[in-house]
Structure 1
Amino acid sequence: MSDYYHHFLSSMAGVGGHPTVNQPEGSPPTQLHQAMPMAGPPISNPYQSLGYFTGFPEPIMFNAPKAQRSRRKSAPGLDHIKHRRTRSGCYTCRSRRVKCDEIHPICERCRKGKRECIYPEPAPSKGSSGLGSRDSTGQSQQTSPSSSHGGDDDDDDAGQESNLDPIMDEEDEPESATTQSSAPIFPLRRPSTTSLFGLQRVATGSRQDSETPSFERNKGSSSPSALASTANPLAPGAIHLPESPTSSARPDWSFLPHELQVYLNYFYENITHYHYCMVNDSYNFFRSILTGMAIRNEALLYAVVGFAAYHHTLKNPDGRIREFLQYYNRSVSLLLTHLKRKEKHNVATLLTILQLATIEEYLGDWVNLMGHQKAALEVLTQLFTPRTVMQSPISRMMLTWYGRFDVFIGIMGSFEASLPREWFTTSLEYYDSMAAAEPANMGWKIEAASAQLRLISMEMSHLFGKGAKQEVSEQEYIAEHRKLSNVLNGWKDGWDPALEDPAYLVTEFPNDRALDPDDIVNPFVSGTLFRPPLFASTILSCEWHSIALMHESQAVSEASEEARVALMEHAYAICQICETVEFWPHSPAGSLIILHPCLAIASLFVPRDTRHHMWIRTKFALLEGMG
């Protein structure tokens, strides 16, 4: 792994620079990252920006040219990452990217905004912390010159990392700060022979008395940074990729500390593949396989637990963001420690990076998301080839997981997807062959349709990227755009009839009611929604409408009235599906979350009146409450 990702993770240690989760009403909106304009006049969008309703940054394709500030810019693909300064300020000010005056027990900004003010726990003394120079360096912050702001810049140049004194996120604070801790992370006792997360013990389900996790609460809890040195994490390279899942049963994590068990139980019972924006999960990957691998690797474990803690906090009226922040920071610190040891990457390394990227997507930090995406690409291409990645359900899911980030970020940023085309075509060939070999298996048909749509999206990202860089002539762009339009329409018309079996259409709605004057669609119309096992067909239809919207809006020629009507029809179809999924009582958990990007695009193409405006705001308020 290049030093780029090491510096990137170091800048994130201490959870510095994350946007506030569930930002309090009345506080200023999070500043979105500005994009460079795309060549060619896009169709005018109905609203000022996509970020007007959502946490998405404005896609380049929908941006009108803007005057650029005279400051250093990152190159396409974000090879340069803005490193953020962190000190000993409270977590809330760090996450809001504002300066903290460090007044205890409540800083001035949190007091005025009536926000929860939580400071990092004090680090152990040098004589007992056990933090070596390598660990300290891992927690230091490197500041990008482009992130400096006049007199606020008190950091040395990032290139002088070797000469910098460590700047720990968890510096000593007054005793009053420690009393605010409500759910500390309990360190795992350093094992003498077999790691707490060793494969042998997990496989047998037994443990020795000497391996019992420590719960010595009265002796004081350790900060996330201190935990990185007190535990002995199992390297990702110790996990081997099985050819197929041996069991979809619930993994045994009874040997873990109680707090981790609570969140893993919550994950297993409440989180689905829809929370990860995955259309299908035939092998129960996220509930069983991912959690089973997480209990064998600490970095992945704390990433998964952090994701569960994030959702648990949102559902709990008394939830505190501190638990999520600690688990997240713990995962980042462990991953950084592993990377600094220059050990061989393996499946758990890639899964940890992908899980952290998913968290960044929920938080709306697209710069951090793209940093993880770049690292995931490096690990994925080191571990697999386009052929070998299709040999296991685990590696196939990782490819789908990464491929979604790659294509989505490429389209949003108007640059080409990073993964070569061969990876997408090989995936489609595999699923097509399996669907032909097992025609009764609905899972293969769904995967084949999804893979083809992902390939089309990848081709779109390449076209938009070339158009943005003016690498193709207008005639070539028009010809390629028309070709993709035909392929996109052919995808919907060429569906396997089994994916649209009318026997699975939802025709009854127990919560049927008279329409409200403010409704813009009727959610109780039969024929909109498929029930399981064809619920994925509903998701794919909605994604198709959103991709068609993005594609047709990028036609070079001026849109005719007929084209504008067609765009509005796609937008209404998305709104119809989202509304129906919301009101159908049997919709799977997380199914609205996977539709969030589709609704975000649709919001740009509905009429600009108060009725539609309020409907969209209501839907995104609902989605914000889901994470």
Structure 2
Amino acid sequence: MDEDVDEPESATSQTSAPNFPLRRSSTTSSFGRQRVGAGHRQGSETPSGDGTSSPALSTGPTGAHTPAGPHCLDAANVASSGRPDWTFLPHELQFYLSYLYENITHYHYGAVHDADDFFRPILVGLALRNEALLYAVVCFAAYHHAMRDPNGRINQFLQYYSRSVTLLLECLKKTEKYSVGTLLTILQLATIEEYLGDWINLMGHQKAAFEVLTNLFTPQSAMQTPVGRAAVTWYARYDVFIGIMGNFGTSLSREWFLAAVEHYESRAAAEPQNVGWKIEACSARLRLVSMEMSLLYAKGAKQEVTEEEYTAEHCALSAALDDWKNGWDPALTDAAFLVTNFPGSQAAESDDAANPFGPGALFRAPLFASTLLTCEYHSVALMHASQSAAKLTEDDRSRLMERAHAICQICGTVELWPQSPPGSLIILHSCLAIAALYMRPDARHHLWVRRKFAVLETMGYISPITMRTRMAELFHDESCIRWWLPNDEGFSPLLQNIRAIADERNAMAVATQRESLQQIHHVFSRMNLGTGDGLAEGDDSARAEEKGKHPTA
């Protein structure tokens, strides 16, 4: 590394993209200076932050960036306390790791809690020992930095994405043994693709992650280390979501989800004063219930059960979901942590569809996760109701609208509360999407939810074109396909470029990944459930017909 290059400013204090000087900076010497053995690679250059090149978003090699010998390390033991030392890295990588450490939270990764503090010291520590993972993590940080930079550009993060994919492919070609670093790289790339709205490639990475995860761990061994627990939770989130929405069940068996529940409940029992384990146990049990739902929907789609059997099991799962919510440990709803004072609450926007400062919706740390889990509870209940074989009554519709209202209230509160952790609104994106189907169908409510979708995209969470199309049908406004708000309000050039890339990648998948395309179409087809109170009168027969179709048929 060049010793005469000035140290970059703190990532939190610098608002524009770092303008690092061009230089050759071999990471052979950089990685060689680590205290842990990291091997070597020859003749590779660290991507420059100067913005002189803009590699295409590709899963193939990147020419001059292709390394001669990427690392495929399995770093199982990384200290979980203290900030890792990355001063041996090129300065632009140091900058983005600092930015990630100071601005990115487990909420950005879709985790309602992180009892092991995995997504800070452990993930970064592992990234320092595996170059493919390092560039994937740096890409994620650079992406979020670019979204907050008024002059942000695509190449600020795409160069790191391309580099990570190249290193990952080289690693997979040259080794027959999977590593923890390989698994986490795949999951980090999948997370980036989720943010880009690129669900086709995300589903491909999900399948690869399943193979690596089940090769490295058993349900029991995964629970023995923070890395194993985080990997299962990280993967299971995609597994459950895609399995439920696609009607084809989860890839992981029930044993994996049950092992997580048993582990966290045993930890909570052993450390009753540690509310973190209680939150993890509560979240794990919700994943177990959701997994059972995905299996039921898959059996219904394949016509493996009679209508009577389906209805009975559907009712049993409805009861299990309510039992989960009613069975929370009292510590998770301790009124001492309930937020009742909202400074500046009178400044709420006039188009608010739900009072964001209503009582009982928000808990402060260490119980902020209870707020998010409550929102997830309502969204899972809405989703489960949409899969009922019975026709919805007016009372049913009224209850579903109340749940949608509760979701909107929580989302509005999380957005406006000054102490909401970074990334905490992003984690609620799927809750908001399903609430949109059941909220009051008037212009005021539609504008409210469209503003929330716009806010999420400005935070970096891009809505796939399939989802935008369904929402345009729901709102009776095709302009939503281009952008959520009139006159392109808030639709920055960077967002437009990211949207164009994601839409192009999804379009290219029509010819090359037909099965995945059909599956992802099925995922978002559930967002076209009617224009009235969630489900229009004619939608019950359509839903029954849809239940008999396999997503890949």
Bin the TM-score by the shorter chain.
0.7 to 0.9
Q: 3-state DSSP class of the match of 2:437? A: coil
Which residue of 399, 404, 407 maps to 1:574? 407
Which digits, 9 at most, give the CA deviation of each residue in 1:568-613, with x for residues without a partner? 1110100000111111100001000001111111011012110011
Correspondence for 2:35: 203
Instruction: Tell me the equivalent position of 2:192.
Output: 359
Equivalent in 454, 465, 488 of residue 621 of structure 1: 454
**Residue 139 of structure 2 contacts residue 158 of structure 2 at CA under 8 Å; is this kept in 1?**
yes
| 1:413 paired residue number | 246
SS in 1 for 2:425: helix
Find the counterpart in structure 1 of residue 362 from structure 2. 529
Distance between the aligned counterparts of 2:272 and 2:341, measured in 1?
A: 29
Cα offset, 1:441, TM superposition: 0.8
- Please report how far the alpha carbon of residue 450 of structure 1 lies from its aligned counterpart in structure 2 after TM superposition: 0.3
Q: Identical aligned pairs, as a percentage? A: 62
Counterpart selection for 2:419 from 547, 568, 586: 586
Matched, 1:372 2:205: yes
Relative to 1, partners in 2 of residues 1:247 and 1:478: Cα closer, same or farther, differing over 3 Å? closer
Aligned match of 1:558 in 391, 399, 402? Answer: 391
- Which segment is superposed worse, 473-482 or 222-231? 222-231
Q: Normalization by structure 2: what TM-score?
A: 0.74
Which residue of 417, 422, 430 maps to 2:255? 422
Partner Cα distance (1:186, 1:441) in 2: 49
Q: Secondary structure at the match of 1:603?
A: helix
Paired with 2:49 and 2:198, the residues of 1 have a C-alpha distance of 34
Q: CA deviation at 1:517?
A: 4.3
Equivalent runs, 1:185-334 vs 2, <5 Å:
188-189=25-26, 191=28, 196-198=30-32, 201-203=33-35, 225-230=62-67, 232-235=69-72, 238-242=73-77, 246-334=79-167
Amino acid at match of 1:421: R
| Contact 1:575/1:602 (<8 A) preserved | yes
The question of whether the paired residues in 2 share the 8 Å contact of 1:190 and 1:230 is answered with no
Contact 2:44–2:66 at 8 Å: present in 1 too? no
Secondary structure, aligned partner of 2:354: coil
Which residue is 1:467 aligned to? Answer: 300
Q: Kindly tell me: are residues 422 and 379 of structure 1, through their superposed partners in 2, closer, same or farther at Cα, counting changes over 3 Å?
A: same
| Alpha-carbon distance in 2 for matches of 1:359, 1:324 | 10
- Displacement of 1:226 after TM fit? 3.5
**Relative to structure 1, is the Cα distance of residues 514 and 240 closer, same or farther in structure 2, using a 3 angstrom cutoff?**
closer
Q: Structure 1 residues 300, 500: closer, same or farther in 2, change over 3 A?
A: same
Aligned to 1:350: 183
Deviation at 1:202, TM superposition (A): 2.4
Alignment correspondent of 2:340: 507
Cα distance, 1:395 vs structure 2: 0.7
More helix per residue: 1 or 2? 2
Of the three residues 361, 366, 381, the one matched with 1:548 is 381
Equivalent residue number for residue 457 of structure 1: 290
**Residues 225/214 of structure 1: CA separation in 2 closer, same or farther (3 Å cut):** closer
Supply the distance in 1 between the matched residues of 2:260 and 2:373 (Cα, whole angstroms). 17
Asked if 2 retains the 8 angstrom alpha-carbon contact of 1:188 and 1:231, the reply is no
Flag the 1:187–1:449 CA change in 2: closer, same or farther, 3 A.
farther
Change in CA separation of 1:234 and 1:585 when aligned onto 2, cut-off 3 Å: same
Deviation for aligned residue 1:213: 8.2
CA–CA distance in 1 between the matches of 2:386 and 2:407? 16
CA offsets per residue over residues 10-65 of structure 1, 9 Å max, x none?
Answer: xxxxxxxxxxxxxxxxxxxxxxxxxxxxxxxxxxxxxxxxxxxxxxxxxxxxxxxx
How many correspondences in the alignment?
435
Provide the residue aligned with 1:94 in structure 2: none
Letter in 2 for 1:203: R
Give the Cα separation in 2 of the matches to 1:325 and 1:275.
19
CA-to-aligned-CA distance 1:152-187 (integer Å, 9 cap, x gap)? xxxxxxxxxxxxxxxxxxxxxxxxxxxxxx879966
Superposition pairs of residues 13-24 of structure 1, within 5 angstroms: none
Partners in 2 of 1:227 and 1:287 — Cα distance? 31
Cα-to-partner distance string for 1:514-540 (whole Å, 9 max, x where unaligned): 655422111112321000000011111
184 and 457 in structure 1: CA distance in 2 versus 1, 3 angstrom threshold: farther
Alpha-carbon RMSD across the aligned residues, in angstroms, is 2.7
**What secondary structure is seen at the aligned counterpart in 2 of 1:281?**
coil
Amino acid at match of 1:325: L
Q: Which has the larger radius of gyration?
A: 1
Counterpart amino acid of residue 35 in structure 2: A
**SS of equivalent residue, structure 1 residue 612:** helix
Hey, what's the Cα distance between the residues in 2 that align with 1:319 and 1:221? 14
The answer on 1:605 being equivalent to 2:427 is: no
TM-aligned CA deviation for residue 189 of structure 1:
2.4
For residues 209-240 of structure 1, the C-alpha deviation after alignment (integer angstroms, 9 at most, x for no partner) is x999889999x9897724444454221xx323
CA contact (8 A) 1:228 1:330 kept: yes
Residue 278 of structure 2, aligned match among 431, 445, 452: 445
Counterparts of 1:339 and 1:516, CA distance in 2: 52
CA distance in 1, matches of 2:53, 2:35: 30
Is the partner of 2:345 in helix, strand or coil? coil
- Residues 298 and 205 (structure 1), Cα distance of their counterparts in 2 relative to 1, 3 Å cut: closer
SS of residue paired to 2:62: helix
Amino acid at match of 2:31: F
**Matching of residues 47-196 of structure 1 within 5 Å:** 188-189=25-26, 191=28, 196=30
